């Protein structure tokens, strides 16, 4: 089975961990383009309750630019999602989309190699979180 993300369980509250994640992403050259409070949208649209889930659209502009130069279809695959999901009162799961898995869809070996650079940076984010 193809691994689509990197995961790590982190002690803390969802807002605190989300803030730290955004800082660590920034240190690796990723900016956050979007934020979706998924649990709030599900409540608003369906009236259903979920534990807190925050989805961040993260992008490394330099790597995204290089990828776009190789194949404009990458725009359908970016930004990468960074998910912060509440597990219990003191623990959250941080899940970062694995760019190389996304780029495998396009079947371009050079593009997938470029994505492994992003993989490395995202793995570093989780290590430091």
Q: How many domains does the chain have?
A: 1
Give the pLDDT confidence of 74-110 residue by residue, as tens digits: 999 989 999 999 999 999 999 999 999 988 888 888 8
* Residue 3: band (very low, low, confident or very high) from pLDDT cuts 50, 70, 90: confident
> 83-117: buried (b, 16+ CB within 10 Å) or exposed (e) per residue?
bbbbeeeeebebbbbbbbbbbbebebeebbebbee
Domain range for residue 34?
A: 5-128
Q: State residue 1's pLDDT score.
A: 63
Give the pLDDT confidence of 7-20 residue by residue, as tens digits: 999 999 999 999 99
- pTM here is 0.92
CATH label of the domain that carries residue 19: 3.30.310.70
């Amino acid at each position: 089975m193809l691994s689509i993300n990197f995961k790590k369980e982190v002690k803390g509250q969802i807002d605190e961990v989300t803030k730290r994640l955004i800082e660590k992403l920034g240190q690796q050259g990723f900016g956050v383009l979007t934020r979706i409070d998924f649990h709030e949208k599900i409540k608003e649209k369906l009236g259903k309750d979920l534990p807190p889930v925050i989805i961040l659209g993260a992008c490394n502009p330099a790597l995204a630019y290089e990828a776009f130069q190789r194949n404009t279809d990458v725009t359908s695959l970016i930004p990468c999602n960074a998910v912060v999901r509440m597990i219990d009162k003191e623990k959250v799961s941080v899940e970062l989309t694995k760019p190389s898995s996304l780029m495998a869809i396009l079947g371009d070996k050079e593009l997938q190699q470029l994505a492994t650079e992003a993989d490395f940076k995202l793995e570093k984010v989780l290590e430091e979180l």
